[in-house]
Structure 1
């Protein structure tokens, strides 16, 4: 590897919703751990070496681009990872499984009807013992709060409590 100080730097993230045109010169394929970074030397699939050098640690999402100092873009792709897709017979049963897994403080991606964790046969057995299903799948992993708890990860979709509106009493 060349000396990081002589490498071109990528100093900001262009989120996928703002990606319009721009010269994409390479792509990096990163797993969930590698997508939460502040400063690290990276090498694109096409061989471009560069230094990711962000002001603070951030989570790179599938489809984002890294902006190089000269304005060129490097596309970010989420690598498929070996995960367990966990499902249950009912919404309540799924919530119980999430609670049991949640007590172990491992990264999890929570969907509407399933959730995903890194493939782990001990947890798969536990889930099955609790009446759920755990199927190995290969897909990008987007754990809640990024790969690490704490830090500046942006959680997706905060649950705002519904139906707690302030009632304005009309004066007669």
Structure 2
């Protein structure tokens, strides 16, 4: 079976033949070794040296140099909002105190759907509305920001075009 042994990060992707894509939720994007099949049918073994968080827009490098695009799957989440910046910061603190994955935006925070946390947020004056969208939580302080090493594999600047992908 063909193997994928390297990841090219979306900010370092310059060129290459993208032959397929895998659509993975947040949990499925934290991998080291697993058999995968792309949407177009390309079967391969993901065989990385260490467990890695794959980000939306990354590419997996197959043994023959072809690339498989990584796309974040839509997930059922709660969109947490607050009436003020200070109130949102308080909610972020309470969410973080529960040690759950969270994606922090300028005016909202997204967490996995959980009725207990939704009630906590509402009890603290915020809103928690169900949404379906890709989940890109923070990597954590002990994961170097993204929880993965950067294998850029080239020595040029990063002002190049990227293959299109959805953000809906």
Instruction: Name the CA distance, whole Å, in 1 between partners of 2:56 and 2:127.
Output: 27
Instruction: Name the CA distance, whole Å, in 2 between partners of 1:8 and 1:153.
Output: 30
The answer to whether 1:110 aligns with 2:107 is no
After TM superposition, list the pairs within 5 Å mapping 1:90-129 onto structure 2.
90-129=84-123
- Structure 1 unpaired stretches of 5+: 1-6, 156-172
- TM-score, normalisation: structure 2: 0.81
Q: CA deviation at 1:151?
A: 5.4
What's the counterpart of residue 132 of structure 2?
Answer: 138
- TM-score, normalisation: structure 1: 0.80
**1:56 alignment partner, one of 50, 53, 65:** 50
- Maintained 8 Å contact 1:57/1:152: no
What's the counterpart of residue 158 of structure 2?
Answer: none
Which is higher, the Rg of structure 1 or of structure 2?
A: 1
What's the counterpart of residue 10 of structure 1?
Answer: 4
Q: CA deviation at 1:17?
A: 2.2
Instruction: Name the CA distance, whole Å, in 2 between partners of 1:101 and 1:26.
Output: 37
| Cα deviation 1:10-30 (Å, max 9, x = unaligned) | 000111122233111110000
Instruction: Name the CA distance, whole Å, in 2 between partners of 1:52 and 1:152.
Output: 22
- Structure 2 unpaired stretches of 5+: 148-168
2:88 partner SS: helix
Instruction: Name the CA distance, whole Å, in 2 between partners of 1:98 and 1:71.
Output: 42
2:128 partner SS: strand
Structure with the larger RCO, 1 or 2 (CA within 8 Å, 6+ apart): 2
RMSD: 1.7
Instruction: Name the CA distance, whole Å, in 2 between partners of 1:48 and 1:87.
Output: 40
